């Protein structure tokens, strides 16, 4: 019997896995009350706003992949807000910028998460808005024992809050200090915001869908939009070192609505793997799976060996190079070619017995790739490790954890399944809007201030997000939902997980617990868009012989703590038996699965 940090849960009623135990158990409570997987996921999403405020918030975003018992085909719920109308390259250039700041009002996209969760509830949920928001309101109003990483995050930005972001200091430095681990912390303003959304719904009458639509209007054109519009006009210090006002207006919120779209998919080993479209980084996983397959080498599938790690890392590097050259909202993406078997063979032919330190985008259908000047040879920059606001709060290249995004997977007894990755709007991204109890996000930093690129900034375009939920189907039925926080590492950590579970036959928990790695030999998605050619970060639980062999392949191996990389959540369903399963990440000691 293989030891795992916790069991792979099994049952037939319902399963939840998320990055915080309170979100998981709140979602499970909704299932116990008769709600379905989508009611439960919405509950978890709002609870995560409260209990993991350093990792996500209402001012952020959420992409999700959904399959219903009635229609098991995967659908993407896009809760990624676009660039506001005033966000032009010319505007940022007029401020003397060649990169969008990594924090502050100027970096905010239109908030997308709340509208997406409410759209999901309206179309696929069964419970009322009041019922699904009850746990989040309770934790925000009465308090919850704070995880230590929240206080650590506040301590890291304490001087910024005290000197430049007074509204954030008022919320997070009560008594003149950061909150302590386990301290009961409240957010009365956010509790009131949620109550007002519920009240707006009730004022619309007894119909459940009418109530949800009224709450959406209160968010996009009512009191929330009014508060965001007014606050965004105030200048605050950002990661450029200077104060700037934001660009998000009430009109931007009114113009935005979350949406449904078709996923990008790959047929692979008898499965169909679904990801968000090429407006996000999700297809990196599909390209990597196809390239590993095209190597036609059974050893390439094993993440426990040096040969397997080498093959997978090199496949990922090629896919991320394509991300930089080809992926972007509104871009002319050669999607069919990028996921074709012929292209996978072309890319696999570039993988030899030496690690590459080059950025090598491909030429799908013979097209010429275009890379930003910032990532061309000789133009890379080094991040400032003293600035805790920059970048997604994820795992640094030296393995030090600054935080993470969030993730939640749910499957119910009827066969409904969802994988969702909420993020953005974390407490250190932008000053707190005092009337609402949350800040805006900073996702605009993923755009380039250079014309003619796949991810060039333009009003109305969605940032090329790193948020990357996954759903796997077999014979047309959903069998697995998974995902992880981690910015540029999200699809890197999911690749070996899927290989271990779907090819290697490991249980969910075995595959989650297994030693992890990722490369930073790719342009970072977050300010200051750094790249460390040839560097491979590896947990120290790998055998020294594997590490030595990786160095012989030419990787610059950077060894980090044995339980520091990866934040995976996963749930499964066997359509033949109805047996459900779940696993959750032990790293960080926050993730938890529950079910029966």
Residue 110 has pLDDT above 80, yes or no: yes
What pLDDT digit, counting tens, does each position of 434-447 carry? 999 999 999 999 99
Torsion 370-92-406-585 (CA) sign: positive
Chain centroid to Cα 79, Å, comes to 11
What does the alpha-carbon distance between residue 443 and residue 100 come to, in Å, rounded to a whole number? Answer: 10
DSSP 289-336: HHHHHHT--GGGG-TTSHHHHHHHHHHHHHHHHHHHHH--TTS---HH
Band the pLDDT of 80: cuts 50, 70, 90.
very high
Residue 295 has pLDDT above 90, yes or no: yes
CB 470 within 8 A of CB 275: yes
What does the alpha-carbon distance between residue 420 and residue 48 come to, in Å, rounded to a whole number? Answer: 12
Band the pLDDT of 403: cuts 50, 70, 90.
very low
What pLDDT digit, counting tens, does each position of 571-582 carry? 999 999 999 999
Band the pLDDT of 376: cuts 50, 70, 90.
confident
Band the pLDDT of 377: cuts 50, 70, 90.
confident
Residue 395 has pLDDT above 80, yes or no: no
What does the alpha-carbon distance between residue 454 and residue 428 come to, in Å, rounded to a whole number? Answer: 28
| Mean pLDDT, rounded, for 63-85 | 98
What confidence score (pLDDT) does residue 354 get?
97
What does the alpha-carbon distance between residue 339 and residue 324 come to, in Å, rounded to a whole number? Answer: 16
Average pLDDT of the chain?
A: 94
Give exposure, 178-210, as e/b (b: 16+ Cβ within 10 Å): bbeeeeebbbebbbbbbebbbebbeebeeebee
What pLDDT digit, counting tens, does each position of 241-275 carry? 999 999 999 999 999 999 999 999 999 999 999 99
pTM: 0.95
What pLDDT digit, counting tens, does each position of 516-549 carry? 999 999 999 998 888 999 999 999 999 999 999 9
What confidence score (pLDDT) does residue 2 get?
87
Residue 400 has pLDDT above 50, yes or no: no
What confidence score (pLDDT) does residue 383 get?
45
Chain centroid to Cα 532, Å, comes to 22
Range from 104-113, 292-301, 302-311, 383-392 carrying the lowest mean pLDDT: 383-392
Q: Residue ranges per domain, the chain?
A: 26-261+422-446
Q: What is the DSSP letter of 395?
A: B
Q: Within 13 Å and on the Cβ side, how many CA atoms surround 226?
A: 6
Q: How do strand 535-539 and strand 417-420 relate by DSSP bridges?
A: unpaired
Secondary structure of residue 255 in the 3-state scheme: helix
What confidence score (pLDDT) does residue 387 get?
52
Secondary structure of residue 192 in the 3-state scheme: helix
What confidence score (pLDDT) does residue 528 get?
87
What confidence score (pLDDT) does residue 330 get?
87
The percent of residues above 90 in pLDDT, for the chain, comes to 93
Residue 380 has pLDDT above 80, yes or no: no
Residue 402 has pLDDT above 50, yes or no: no
What pLDDT digit, counting tens, does each position of 115-125 carry? 999 999 999 99
What pLDDT digit, counting tens, does each position of 141-173 carry? 999 999 999 999 999 999 999 999 999 999 999
What confidence score (pLDDT) does residue 331 get?
85
């Amino acid at each position: 019997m293989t030891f795992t940090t916790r069991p792979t849960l099994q049952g037939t009623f319902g399963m939840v896995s998320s990055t915080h135990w309170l979100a998981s158990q709140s979602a499970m409570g909704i299932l116990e009350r008769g709600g379905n997987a989508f009611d439960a996921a919405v509950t978890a999403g709002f609870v995560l706003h409260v209990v993991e405020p350093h990792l996500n918030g209402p001012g952020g975003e959420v992409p999700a992949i959904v399959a219903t018992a009635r229609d098991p085909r995967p659908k993407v719920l896009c809760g990624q807000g676009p660039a506001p109308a005033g966000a032009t390259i010319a505007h940022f250039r007029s401020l003397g910028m060649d990169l969008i700041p990594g924090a502050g009002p100027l970096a905010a996209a239109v908030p997308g998460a709340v509208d997406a969760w409410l759209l999901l509830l309206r179309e696929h949920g069964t419970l009322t808005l009041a019922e699904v928001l009850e746990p989040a309101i309770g934790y925000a109003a009465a308090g919850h024992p704070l995880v230590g990483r929240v206080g650590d995050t506040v301590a890291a930005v304490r001087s910024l809050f005290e000197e430049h972001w007074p509204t954030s200091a008022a919320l997070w430095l009560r008594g003149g200090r950061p909150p302590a681990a386990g301290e009961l912390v409240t957010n009365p303003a956010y509790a009131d915001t949620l109550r007002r959304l519920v009240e707006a719904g009730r004022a619309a009458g007894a119909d459940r869908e009418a109530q949800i639509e009224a709450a959406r209007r209160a968010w996009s054109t009512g009191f929330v939009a009014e508060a965001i519009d007014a606050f965004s006009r105030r200048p605050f210090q950002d990661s450029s070192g200077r104060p700037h006002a934001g660009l998000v207006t009430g009109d931007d919120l009114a113009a935005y609505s979350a949406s449904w779209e078709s996923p990008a998919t790959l047929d692979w080993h008898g499965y169909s793997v679904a990801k968000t479209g090429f407006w996000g980084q999700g297809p990196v996983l599909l390209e990597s799976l196809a390239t590993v397959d095209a190597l036609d080498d059974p050893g390439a599938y094993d993440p426990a060996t040096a040969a397997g790690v080498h093959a997978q890392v090199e496949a990922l590097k090629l896919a991320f190079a394509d991300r930089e050259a080809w992926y972007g909202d509104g871009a002319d993406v050669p999607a069919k070619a990028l996921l074709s078997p012929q292209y996978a063979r072309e890319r696999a032919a570039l993988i030899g017995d030496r690690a590459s330190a080059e950025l090598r985008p491909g030429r799908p259908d013979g097209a010429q790739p275009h890379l930003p000047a910032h990532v061309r040879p000789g133009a890379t920059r080094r991040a400032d490790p003293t600035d805790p606001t920059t970048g997604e709060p994820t795992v640094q290249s030296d393995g030090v954890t600054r935080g993470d995004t969030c993730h939640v997977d749910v499957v119910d007894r009827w066969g409904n399944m969802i994988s969702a990755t909420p993020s953005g709007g974390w407490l250190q991204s932008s000053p707190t809007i005092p009337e609402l109890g949350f800040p805006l996000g900073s996702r605009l930093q993923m755009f380039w201030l250079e014309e003619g690129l796949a991810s060039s900034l333009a009003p109305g375009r969605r940032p090329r997000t790193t948020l990357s939920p996954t759903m796997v189907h077999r014979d047309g039925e959903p069998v697995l939902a998974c995902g992880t926080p981690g910015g540029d590492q999200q699809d890197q950590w999911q690749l070996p997980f899927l290989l271990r579970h779907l090819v290697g036959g490991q249980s969910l928990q075995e595959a989650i617990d297994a030693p992890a790695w990722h490369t930073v030999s790719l342009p970072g998605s977050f300010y200051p868009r750094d790249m460390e050619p040839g560097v491979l970060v590896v947990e120290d639980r790998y055998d020294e012989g594997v590490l030595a062999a990786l160095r012989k392949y030419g990787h610059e191996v950077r060894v980090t703590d044995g339980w520091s990389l990866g934040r995976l959540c996963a749930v499964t369903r066997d359509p033949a038996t109805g047996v459900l399963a779940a696993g959750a990440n032990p790293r960080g000691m926050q993730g938890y699965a529950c079910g029966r």
